[in-house]
Every structure is written in C-alpha cells, then in structure tokens.
Chains A and B, each alone.
Chain A
Amino acid sequence: EDKVVQSPLSLVVHEGDTVTLNCSYEVTNFRSLLWYKQEKKAPTFLFMLTSSGIEKKSGRLSSILDKKELFSILNITATQTGDSAVYLCAVEMNYGGSQGNLIFGKGTKLSVKP
C-alpha cells in the first residue's frame, strides 16, 4: 500500500529555533514530493522536489529529497510565530500521466512560541 509518513506529529519550539520536519514514503510510481503549509484554511504550496540531493530554498525554509532512502526533510531556520501551522508532505504519483494525484501524510503541527 502506498503511504506517506511524517514525523514528528507535533512540535513546539520558541522563536528563533531551527526545526527539521521529516517525511518518508513508500510508493510504487513516484513522480514528485511536495510540501504544503496549512494554517486555518487551504494548504498552500511550498516546494516540489523531483531530484535527489538538490536543495530547494525559499527564505528561511529549505527542503531536500533523498530518493534512495525515500525521505525528505523540511528545515525552517530562525522560526517565527507566523510559521505556526500544519506542514503537509505529499507524494505525487506517476499514474496515467495525471497531475496532482497526491497521497498526503497526516502532517506535522508546528507551534512557535514567542
């Protein structure tokens, strides 16, 4: 069965801390791995990773994929209270050429305290 597992399920840190969120996966037809941030409403897209070892970076956030060990990490440096959210990892399946057929992990709930 295809699955995506995230850890930890929840995390509480203080402003300025650095955090690492983990995502491991087992899928039959891997196409890409994506990270989303979900606050109160819709998940918003952060990164899409398709190749191993190439870091994607956006401000204080960065992510990297290891296709051999089947995992990805999302790093957030110098955390701020605005980073508090649920971070979702998803794997896009290479299934009939479709776009967006994703399997999601259950997310990591990050709480950043002032």
Chain B
Amino acid sequence: DAGVIQSPRHEVTEMGQEVTLRCKPISGHDYLFWYRQTMMRGLELLIYFNNNVPIDDSGMPEDRFSAKMPNASFSTLKIQPSEPRDSAVYFCASSSVWSDSPLHFGNGTRLTVT
C-alpha cells in the first residue's frame, strides 16, 4: 500500500493567490482528515470526511478555506485568497474502523505564502 499521498510537497505562493492542496487516502479507508501544523499551535484538525461527506468543519479557520471530497480516492483543500498567516504544513490523514491505528498520515504539504 502506497499510504496517504499528498501533493504538492512544497508550495510557495504570493499573498492573494489561490492554493489547492491534494490528497489521495489509503484505499478502503472511509475517514479523511485535514490537519494543519504550525510551531505556535501544533497540529490542528481543520475538517474531516466520512464516506466523502464532510462531518465537522469547525476547525476551518475562515471562509477562505474550503475542502471537497468528490470521491473516495481524492480530496482537496483550497485557500482563496491565501495570506502569509496560512503558512504551515498541511497534513492529510485517513483511517478506517478496521485499521490498526486511528490515523495514517501523508507526508504533508509545506505551504509558504509571501
């Protein structure tokens, strides 16, 4: 199994630009999570999906952030417009009630907004 796959690995963009982060969960996993990690706040849950349906988006910081999961094998996190304070590492993770640990993380996307 290839694990959770995220792209791009690094993204550098200018303030005001749209940013789209992508995630492919582990096949068969029915939960997908987006986390953000910063030095100040650690790992924070942004949103999670169950069977492609958003369940809890209370962690999404503001309307500039949106997430979709059009099918079981793909999800996107979009920031429009981006701001310097959005700079962070964004992790996607997936899980299944049948897996041996609650979360399997992708390698993250390091976003820098200048």
**Residues of A in contact with B (beta carbons under 8 Å apart):** 32, 34, 41-45, 48, 88, 90, 92, 95-96, 98-107
Contact = CB atoms under 8 A, between A and B. Distances in A.
Contacts of A92: 102
B102 A100 contact: yes
B93 interface: yes
Given A98-B50, A104-B43, 18 more contacts: A34-B102, A42-B91, A43-B43, A43-B91, A43-B103, A43-B105, A45-B104, A48-B101, A98-B56, A99-B31, A100-B31, A100-B33, A100-B93, A101-B33, A101-B45, A102-B102, A102-B103, A105-B42
B52 to A, nearest CB: 14
A41 B4 CA distance: 12
Nearest to B3: A42
Contacts of A100: 31, 33, 48, 93, 95, 102-103
Contacts of B104: 45
A101 B105 CA distance: 13
Q: Is the interface of B mostly helix, strand, loop or mixed?
A: strand
B112 interface: no
A9 B103 CA distance: 23
Contacts of B42: 88, 104-107
B76 interface: no
A33 B107 CA distance: 22
B2 interface: no
Contacts of A107: 42
Nearest to B101: A45
